[in-house]
Structure 1
Amino acid sequence: METHDIEPENWLSRTVAAATIVIFRRDPAGGPAQLLMVERNASLKFAGGATVFPGGKVDPADLELAEKLGFSDLADGAAQIAAVRETLEETGLVIGIEGKVDGQIAAQARQMLLAGGDLAPVLDAYGWTLVPQRLVPFARWWPRHRTERIFDTRFYLADLGTGAVDIEVDATENRHLFWASAQGALDLAEQGAIKVIFPTRRNLERLARFDSFEAARTHARATPVDTISPYVEQVDGQPWLMIPDGLGYPVRGEPLEMAARG
């Protein structure tokens, strides 16, 4: 029997739209593809000290730009724009755009974005065009368990290819950036070297089945992106935090007392 922590009307009123991007690069040593991981500052209210994928909340300017660019699904378009913007802000990487980019241009664009906060002027200044097809829809998590802000988070996949670019931590929210395979990140979590919250662990387990971006993309395109709202279920007399079946996840839950919930 499923149970939820808060009533639907409160769930909706506390919801904040957000976007997360899983950035792939080829392993320089020839191993499985690596993912960019972000360790958040411990002082943050949500997922403080946890290692997550880059991302953040959707801003009103992201929705305005989605409207301007004519996205048919404005919520999804705004989330894609937020993913591009947050990645540039947090890491200095430019993803999901067409146009000239090198290390110097990316650094300058990042400073302009940090100063102004909106992506549209940056796109205009550097002659960049958004290419939504480069962001692959992967998942949508909308939990009900939090009593404060609840994040309706859309996850996307993106590819850097060789990944021969510099990354630089945004010290206001994050304290460390690193590349690791999905299984490598899971191993670090098991060793206690990093902390991962419930959605990140489930997504890493799902991604660990694929050695390349191409394989993960093929899987994502063949898998429905239905909203995931974790729920508590009794398993052998113990409460477990669970997610629905049929959405591509090899592991659907873990004991509630072990689940880091942000």
Structure 2
Amino acid sequence: MTDTAKAAPQREGIPAATIIIFRNAPEGGPPEVLMTVRSRNMTFAGGMAVFPGGRVDPEDYALGEDIARESGGAMDADEAAHQIAAVRETLEETGLALGLAGDIDAVKAGEARAMLMREGALAPVLEAFGWRLDLAQITPFARWFPKNENIVRVYDTRFYLADLGTGAVDVSIDHAENTRLFWTTAAGALEAAERGEIKLIFPTRRNLERLALFASFAEARAQAEAIPVRTIMPRVEERDGKPMLTILEDAGYPVTAEVLDDVARG
């Protein structure tokens, strides 16, 4: 481990990152997003449907420092580390090589994924395949930090957007953290949750409601670029005699409160 890796920022929450991956619907209509169902054995959000992602590792911070230096200060090292983590976790969990540039095809992506699982870090994969990071492919969308003394593992998660376009690619589970990958519209995911086919934690539900507003990836990106990312820290408020879990009113979300007793948490 490098000195840079040892110097990863200390936080109240566990730093994490996730990419909401869009593709054009095969038969037209609203775009689809990729979701995964986490293994029931996972400590956080076990059995829940979420977007691909995971915690930021020390090696992501080390690579983030390199990116920040190369950018001449245009990219913050901490933000770079989160974006790198999102790229790494996406490759590991789905097999998709997003946020990367170079000679990339399905076979190489599969080989890179296998190497990533062996190495546990993205830097050696980039070197071995001659790839480079292309973080312009992903757009900051949101940041959620559901800080609560009653939650043992609190993640401070940054959400990003990315687009596959036609989406004519194969995805497969990692056989470790996830049990299923599936494409769905945001509205379709919410409807599936209402039918009891999938389970959603509070942040995922709110983000799906926001995503359901968009008729295309371009619309989603435009809103993300227009609304500055602010840290969303849900809090409990009493409304009409009922405790409600609430979020910011001006962060782009159409639904900003839910009855506390109805909230599913990780």
Normalising by the residue count of structure 2, what TM-score does the alignment of the two structures yield? 0.92
Q: Which residue of 2 aligns with 1:20?
A: 18
Residue among 179, 182, 188 paired with 2:183: 179
Structure 1 residue matching 2:175: 3-state secondary structure: coil
Work out whether residues 67 and 77 of structure 2, in 8 Å CA contact, stay in contact via their aligned partners in 1: no
Structure 1: distance between partners of 2:151 and 2:25: 40
Work out whether residues 14 and 149 of structure 1, in 8 Å CA contact, stay in contact via their aligned partners in 2: no
Is 1:242 paired with 2:222? no
Structure 2: distance between partners of 1:214 and 1:13: 33
Q: Which residue of 2 aligns with 1:64?
A: 62
Q: Which residue of 1 aligns with 2:107?
A: 104
Q: Which residue of 1 aligns with 2:5?
A: none
Deviation at 1:149, TM superposition (A): 2.1
Work out whether residues 24 and 167 of structure 2, in 8 Å CA contact, stay in contact via their aligned partners in 1: yes
Deviation at 1:101, TM superposition (A): 1.3
Q: Which residue of 2 aligns with 1:5?
A: none
Q: Which residue of 2 aligns with 1:229?
A: 233
Is 1:129 paired with 2:132? yes
> What is the number of equivalent residue pairs in this alignment?
251
Deviation at 1:261, TM superposition (A): 1.3
Normalising by the residue count of structure 1, what TM-score does the alignment of the two structures yield? 0.93
Work out whether residues 22 and 156 of structure 1, in 8 Å CA contact, stay in contact via their aligned partners in 2: yes
Q: What CA deviation, in whole Å up to 9, does each residue of 1:168-212 have, x standing for no partner?
A: 101111000000010011110111100000000000000001011
The unaligned stretches of length 5 or more in structure 2 are 1-9
Q: Which residue of 2 aligns with 1:93?
A: 96
Structure 2: distance between partners of 1:50 and 1:147: 16
Work out whether residues 90 and 169 of structure 1, in 8 Å CA contact, stay in contact via their aligned partners in 2: yes
Larger mean Cα displacement after TM superposition, 15-24 or 127-136: 127-136
AA aligned to 1:250 is: P
Mapping of 1:42-81 within 5 angstroms?
42-70=40-68, 72-81=75-84
Structure 2: distance between partners of 1:73 and 1:245: 27
AA aligned to 2:61 is: L
Work out whether residues 88 and 94 of structure 1, in 8 Å CA contact, stay in contact via their aligned partners in 2: yes
Structure 2: distance between partners of 1:76 and 1:36: 23
Q: What CA deviation, in whole Å up to 9, does each residue of 1:47-81 have, x standing for no partner?
A: 01000000000000000001112263111110000
Structure 2: distance between partners of 1:223 and 1:182: 20
The unaligned stretches of length 5 or more in structure 1 are 1-11
Report the identity percentage: 56
Structure 2: distance between partners of 1:250 and 1:224: 16
Q: What CA deviation, in whole Å up to 9, does each residue of 1:124-156 have, x standing for no partner?
A: 111111111111000000111243221110000
Q: What CA deviation, in whole Å up to 9, does each residue of 1:28-59 have, x standing for no partner?
A: 11121100000001111110100000000000
